[in-house]
C-alpha cells in the first residue's frame, strides 16, 4: 500500500496514484453499417466495453461526409442511454423514457463505419464513470479515494450519499462519479486515484476539543488517540502553542489521548485542540505511544503477554527461566515453553509443587519445590513400613539454612541423589 507523501514507487503502486481519463468528453465509435453491431430487431447497438451509464445524455454522429444516419436517429441529436448489458446500449428520447427503459425504434442501418456517441460535460450530465489508462476500470469504493479538480479547484468528496451537497460522491457498482452540479462544456477536468481510503478532510480529521483552563490542570483527555505531538494544532486564547520535540521541551506533549501542558493554562483561558490528521513519515519513527525522537521501549510497554494453559495472566518486559532442561517452541508470534520436571504426570513426588512421598506411596507432610527443603523433615516413626525413603525426582535436594532432614531407624535417604548446599542445614 502506498503512503501519501512518499514517492509513488514506495509501497504497492498497482492501480494507485493513477491519473484519471478525462471524463469531460468520451466518444465511442462503431460501424453503423453492420447488422452485427446495429440490431434493428432489438433496437440495440453493440459497443464493447463502453463507458456509458444508465440515463446518461449522449450526442449521436453519423460521421463526416454525405453518409446516412441510422434510421430513427438524427445526426448531432441528443439521446439518453439505456444500458443493455455490458457491451450494448439502447437509446431513449429523454431521461424519463430512459428511467422506464422505453427505447427508440431503430429503423435502418447507416452506411459508414465511423458512427459515434459522445458523453460530455454539457450542463446536464452529472454522472461519469471513473477510468484510467484509456478505459481501465478504477478499483475504488469511496469518494475519498479520488482527487478531483474542476477548473483548477479541488472538489470536496462525500462518502455514503447518492446526491452530494457539494463537490462529488462515488456510487457503486460501476465506480460512478456524481457531481453536485452538472459541469458545463467550458469546464476543465483533472483527477487522480489516491487508492488508499483517507478520511473526509473537513469532517473526520479536523475534530476540535475545547477546554477551559483552571490554573492547576495540566493533563487534558482528548476525544481520540493521537500518533504524536505534531498531529495536533493547539492554541490558548488564540495563541498557537509549540509542541515538545526531540531537541527541546516546549508548551505541550501528547501520550495516547492525553495532552500534557508544561505549565497549567491560566484560569478562564480558552484551550482549542485541533486534530489535524496523521502526519506522513519522513524518515524513521516519528511517533510511538506518544513518544518522539529516538524511541525506546519502557517498562510500562506491554511487550510480552503471559498465558498458562491458554488463559491470560498478564504482561511483562522480561521473562527469566531458572534451571536447565527447559524447552522452547516457536509457533508464529507465540513461544511455547516446557519447564523441566513440570509435565504434571504425577508419580512418586518427582514434580515441582507435588507432595514428597514415602516409598509405600503415603504422602509426607512436605512439598517438593525443585528439590528444595524449606522446613525440617523427621522420618522417624511416621510410617509403619520399615524401609521408607524420601523420593525426589531432581538430581539434588537443597536444604535451606535452619532446616534439617532427620532419618530414624529403618529409614534412609538415597545419598547419591542429594547435595547439601550452604552452611547450617544438617542431615542426620
Express each pLDDT in 198-251 by its tens digit.
Answer: 444 444 456 788 999 999 999 999 888 777 787 889 999 989 999 988 778 889
Instruction: Count, in order, helices (H) and strands (E) of the chain.
Output: 1, 36
The per-residue pLDDT for range 73-84, each reduced to its tens digit, is 999 999 999 998
pTM for the model? 0.45
pLDDT of residue 193: 86
Peptide bond into 173 cis (omega under 30): yes
pLDDT of residue 325: 60
Distance CA 296, CA 344 (A): 40
Q: Please name which of 22, 50, 53, 21 lies closest in space to residue 138, comparing C-alpha atoms.
A: 21
Q: Which residue has the higher pLDDT, 22 or 229?
A: 22
Least confident of 74-78, 107-111, 282-286, 321-325: 282-286
The per-residue pLDDT for range 313-362, each reduced to its tens digit, is 666 666 666 655 667 776 766 677 766 544 333 333 344 455 665 555 66
Map out the domains of the chain with their CATH numbers: 25-120 (2.40.30), 206-275 (no CATH), 304-338 (no CATH), 355-427 (no CATH)
Least confident of 3-17, 37-51, 291-305, 341-355: 341-355
Residue 108 has pLDDT above 90, yes or no: yes
Q: Which residue has the higher pLDDT, 137 or 202?
A: 137
Which distant-in-sequence residues (6+ apart) come within 8 Å of 123 by Cβ? 182, 183, 184, 185
The long-range contacts involving 246-252, CB below 8 angstroms and separated by at least 24 positions, are 246/292, 246/293, 246/294
Distance CA 174, CA 180 (A): 18
Amino acid at each position: 500500500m502506498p503512503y501519501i507523501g512518499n514517492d509513488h514507487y514506495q509501497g504497492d503502486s498497482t492501480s494507485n496514484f493513477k491519473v484519471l481519463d478525462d471524463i469531460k468528453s468520451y466518444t465511442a465509435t462503431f460501424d453503423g453499417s453492420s447488422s452485427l453491431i446495429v440490431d434493428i430487431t432489438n433496437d440495440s447497438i453493440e459497443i464493447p466495453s463502453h463507458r456509458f451509464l444508465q440515463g446518461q445524455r449522449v450526442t449521436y454522429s453519423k460521421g463526416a461526409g454525405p453518409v446516412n444516419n441510422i434510421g430513427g436517429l438524427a445526426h448531432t441529436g441528443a439521446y439518453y442511454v439505456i444500458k443493455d448489458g455490458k457491451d450494448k446500449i439502447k437509446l431513449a428520447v429523454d431521461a424519463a423514457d430512459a428511467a422506464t427503459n422505453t427505447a427508440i425504434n431503430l429503423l435502418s442501418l447507416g452506411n459508414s463505419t465511423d458512427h459515434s456517441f459522445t458523453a460530455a460535460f454539457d450542463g446536464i450530465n452529472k454522472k461519469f464513470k471513473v477510468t484510467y489508462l484509456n478505459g481501465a476500470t478504477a478499483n475504488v469504493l469511496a469518494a475519498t479515494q479520488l482527487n478531483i479538480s474542476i477548473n483548477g479547484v479541488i472538489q470536496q468528496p462525500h462518502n455514503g450519499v447518492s446526491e452530494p451537497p457539494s463537490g462529488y460522491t462515488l456510487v457503486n457498482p460501476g465506480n460512478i462519479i456524481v457531481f453536485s452540479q452538472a459541469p458545463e462544456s467550458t469546464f476543465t477536468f483533472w483527477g487522480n486515484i489516491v487508492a488508499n481510503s483517507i478520511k473526509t478532510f473537513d469532517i473526520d480529521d479536523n475534530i476540535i476539543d475545547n477546554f477551559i483552563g483552571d490554573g492547576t490542570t495540566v493533563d487534558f483527555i482528548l476525544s481520540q488517540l493521537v500518533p504524536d505531538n505534531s498531529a495536533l494544532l493547539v492554541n490558548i486564547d488564540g495563541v498557537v502553542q509549540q509542541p515538545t520535540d526531540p531537541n527541546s521541551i516546549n508548551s505541550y506533549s501528547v501520550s495516547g489521548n492525553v495532552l500534557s501542558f508544561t505549565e497549567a493554562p491560566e484560569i478562564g483561558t480558552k484551550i482549542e485542540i485541533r486534530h489535524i490528521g496523521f502526519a506522513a513519515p519522513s524518515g524513521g519513527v516519528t511517533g510511538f505511544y506518544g513518544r518522539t525522537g529516538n524511541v525506546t521501549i519502557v517498562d510500562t510497554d506491554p511487550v510480552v503477554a503471559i498465558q498458562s494453559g491458554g488463559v491470560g495472566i498478564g504482561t511483562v518486559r522480561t521473562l527469566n527461566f531458572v534451571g536447565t532442561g527447559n524447552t522452547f517452541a516457536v509457533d508464529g508470534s507465540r513461544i511455547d515453553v516446557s519447564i523441566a520436571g513440570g509435565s504434571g504426570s504425577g508419580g512418586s513426588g518427582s514434580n515441582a509443587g507435588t507432595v514428597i512421598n514415602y516409598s509405600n506411596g503415603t504422602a509426607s507432610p512436605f512439598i517438593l519445590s525443585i528439590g528444595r527443603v524449606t522446613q525440617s523433615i523427621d522420618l522417624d516413626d511416621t510410617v509403619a513400613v520399615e524401609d521408607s525413603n524420601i523420593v525426589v525426582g531432581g538430581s539434588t535436594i537443597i536444604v535451606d539454612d535452619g532446616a534439617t532432614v532427620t532419618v530414624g531407624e529403618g529409614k534412609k535417604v538415597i545419598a547419591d541423589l542429594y547435595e547439601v548446599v550452604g552452611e547450617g542445614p544438617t542431615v542426620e
